[in-house]
Structure 1
Amino acid sequence: MKRGLVSLRATETHRDLLSEVTNWTDDGDELVLLWHLDGAEYDADVDTLESVGRVEHVDYDHSAVIDGAAADAKEFTDPVLADADVEAHVVVSVDSASSRARNVLDTAAEHDCDHAFIVGTSRSPTGKAVFGDFAQRVILNFDGYTTVVTE
């Protein structure tokens, strides 16, 4: 692996995945830490920012929400990466459950990642056929290795 993408949310399973990924890295490897910010959460944060701006008579840039999410991601990942000898940087993705796989694939392609590490959910074959499945979409469409752990 030269550059791996780790799909992350603020759960213990994702923290465990990142910890395990650090065991797979070699000197010179890089990690793209894709932090998923739920679209509804993003919209609520933007609304709050705009409300505060109206009270303070200030126009706040919506990028402050992304910057805050990136800071949250660093706070989540830094303790895990503290002892790892790997270069890592955070990319924030605003998405919904239905767009998460596409954002993983697009970010991996944009950063030339050769390995994707994701957390999937255990679902029945019927559930996958009817509702689609994040992990399945990434596995079938990623042009590289994919490692999946389940919640």
Structure 2
Amino acid sequence: MNHGLVVFEDTDTHRNLLREAGEYATATDAGLLLLAFLDEESYEADLETLESVGRVENVSYGSDAILEAAVDDIRDVAEDVLDGLDAEFDIAVTVADEDERAKRVINAGDEYDCDHAFIVGRSRSPTGKAIFGDFAQRVILNFDGYVTTATN
């Protein structure tokens, strides 16, 4: 592995997968890209709140403030999860709805030259385990490299 892409949310399953990716990256001297998604509705609501606060304080807060806060939060979690490992990582945060997320993972993998993706799919019944779900299935079928999946 030269560069791994870890789709990250702050859940126990994602933390465990990040740790696994970090161990793999350390062993192979690879870098990691942590890709996180902000939900469009939450992002818009946060943006409205910042604009309201800005009007009261007579200060201008841009949309970058939301993304920067998300990057800072992810960095704190990642440093904790990867503590003791020699894994270097970058963080990318993007706003996307559920339908766009797989495409964003594929594009980020191409843009950052990632050859391994680490994703979390949904847990399924024994009958449904063959079907990973739209997001995981699209990433597995379209990512140009290896894909490691964990279930939530």
TM-score by length of 1: 0.91
CA contact (8 A) 1:27 1:85 kept: no
The reply on whether 1:77 has 2:78 as its aligned counterpart is yes
User: Which amino acid counterpart does residue 103 of structure 1 have in structure 2?
Assistant: R
For residue 56 of structure 1, what is the aligned residue in structure 2? 57
CA contact (8 A) 1:27 1:86 kept: no
Between stretches 18-27 and 133-142, larger displacement belongs to 18-27
CA contact (8 A) 2:39 2:96 kept: yes
Give the Cα–Cα distance (whole angstroms) in 2 for the partners of residues 74 and 114 of structure 1.
Answer: 22
User: Which amino acid counterpart does residue 137 of structure 1 have in structure 2?
Assistant: R
For residue 105 of structure 1, what is the aligned residue in structure 2? 106
4+ residue runs over 6 A deviation: none
Cα offset, 1:65, TM superposition:
0.5
Give the Cα–Cα distance (whole angstroms) in 2 for the partners of residues 86 and 72 of structure 1.
Answer: 18
Give the Cα–Cα distance (whole angstroms) in 2 for the partners of residues 83 and 33 of structure 1.
Answer: 18
User: Once the two structures are superposed, what CA deviation does each residue of 1:56-77 show, in whole Å capped at 9, x if it has no partner?
Assistant: 1222121001000101111221
Cα offset, 1:99, TM superposition:
1.2
The reply on whether 1:23 has 2:31 as its aligned counterpart is no
For residue 48 of structure 2, what is the aligned residue in structure 1? 47
User: Which amino acid counterpart does residue 40 of structure 2 have in structure 1?
Assistant: G
Give the Cα–Cα distance (whole angstroms) in 2 for the partners of residues 75 and 97 of structure 1.
Answer: 25
The equivalences for 1:106-125 within 5 A come to 106-123=107-124, 125=128
Unaligned stretches of 5+ residues in structure 1: none
Cα offset, 1:27, TM superposition:
5.0
* Percent of paired sites with the same residue: 48
For residue 135 of structure 2, what is the aligned residue in structure 1? 134
For residue 33 of structure 1, what is the aligned residue in structure 2? 34
Unaligned stretches of 5+ residues in structure 2: none
CA contact (8 A) 1:115 1:146 kept: yes
Q: Number of paired residues?
A: 148
TM-score by length of 2: 0.90
User: Once the two structures are superposed, what CA deviation does each residue of 1:5-24 show, in whole Å capped at 9, x if it has no partner?
Assistant: 00001111100111111221
